[in-house]
Amino acid sequence: MRITTRVRYATRMLIDIASRADCAPLPLREIADRQQVSVNYLKQLIGPLVAADLVRTERGNKGGVLLARPASDIKLGMVVRALQGSTAPVACVDDPAACERNMNCVSRGVWCRIKLAVDQVLDDTTIEDLVEQQGIARNPYVPQKYAKEGQ
């Protein structure tokens, strides 16, 4: 499975938002500057992330982007599925009817195990985990023992 640029940039954006000291909305321009990604590219990612209830936006001169839930509740698998869809390496994993040979295909089991392994890693990893690994844990959603170290 290949992770798309959309997923990588969205993950960076979510880590950036979760790393900030307060819960104030962050302007996309600031995130784009810190992450060295164009604002227009980030704008394309916001819609699917809002639809997946991972971020929310606020309008106005103090508006911007916020996490829609605690960073500990945002799993990397949610980000991947919101922006990329299934993690299945081949179509028959999600839809056995996609291949007429599915009933006699010995390799389909391998493809299914690959999807399960990838999903487990993605669903066991939260944005909070990544913020902690980055060492910038300053968001109130992050446990205080980490927030003190990151400030």
**What's the pLDDT tens digit per position in 9-37?**
999 999 999 988 677 899 999 999 999 99
**What's the pLDDT tens digit per position in 69-110?**
999 999 999 999 999 999 999 999 999 888 888 788 889 999
Torsion angle defined by CA atoms of residues 74, 78, 82 and 85, in that order, rounded to the nearest 10 degrees: 170
Domain count, the chain: 1
CATH of the domain at 72: 1.10.10.10
In angstroms, the CA 78 to CA 131 distance is 16
Strand partners, 66: 56
Contacts of 98 (CB under 8 A, 6+ apart): 91, 92
Predicted TM-score of the model (pTM)? 0.83
Domain of 37 in residue numbering reads as: 5-86+126-150
Return the closest-CA partner of residue 71 out of 2, 11, 120.
Answer: 11
Residue 65, CB-side half-sphere exposure with 13 Å CA sphere: 26
12 within domain boundaries: yes
20 within domain boundaries: yes
77 within domain boundaries: yes
Q: Identify the pLDDT of residue 21.
A: 62
In angstroms, the CA 66 to CA 50 distance is 10
